[in-house]
Amino acid sequence: MNILLLNGSPNANGCTYTALATVAGELEKNSISTEIIHVGHKDIRGCLGCGKCQELGHCVFDDLVNEIAPKLEAADGLVVGSPVYYAGPNGTLTNLLDRLFFSAGYPLRMKVGAAVCSARRAGTTATLDRLNKYFTLAEMPIVSSRYWNMVHGHTPDEVRRDEEGLQIMRVLGRNMAFLVRAIAAERAAHGLPEEEPQRINTNFIR
């Protein structure tokens, strides 16, 4: 079993990475392999809504999005980490997630998902709300901790002094490991929940 973690900060070893590494450490302790991919420093364009990915099975722009897609397909879950910018996640990260989730030519349903964020002071809950929407749209169970998945600090050293935040990350890692194993056991015994064959889309204006 393995979990993919995306570092949406431009800083490879900054505050967001410190939070993700803490989650990954607990997953590894629970025999879940991990991979942290640094994405926040890349130049990733947004989604055009062209729909070509539905024909090709991948995004028409061949960049990091298409490199990550097979890793996500093979993973049992995804953790997305972001710093807080203007009370929201890093735009580079959301560009990547828009295209990754839209172009995924494989079912993400029942892979577990979690978002974590870091901030000097505020904007964390709005950031988490934005990131969690990717999971809910894809039928991915969201993993929780004992508080919202956030750490505080302006530097990695300050984050390491946020004892409550680090505990939240540790609990998140253990909860994710448990949920991944529980879903795997249920899938082996009974399969995934029944899926309706046709998606219904209803427009508000007719």
Residue 145 and residue 99: Cα distance in Å, rounded? 28
- Phi then psi for residue 120, to 5 deg, are -70, -40
Closest CA to 163 of 144, 179, 146: 146
Tell me which residue range forms the domain holding 70.
2-190
Count how many domains the chain has.
1
166 burial type by CB count under 10 A (0-12 exposed, 13-18 middle, 19+ buried): middle
Given a cut of 80, whether residue 106 has pLDDT beyond it is no
- pTM value is 0.95
Cα 75-112-42 angle, rounded to 5 deg? 60
> Does the residue 199 lie in any domain?
no
> Does the residue 184 lie in any domain?
yes
Given a cut of 90, whether residue 48 has pLDDT beyond it is yes
> Does the residue 195 lie in any domain?
no
Model confidence at 204, pLDDT cuts 50, 70, 90, reads confident
pLDDT digits (tens, 9 = 90+) for 61-74: 999 999 999 999 99
| Mean pLDDT across the chain | 96
CATH number at residue 140: 3.40.50.360
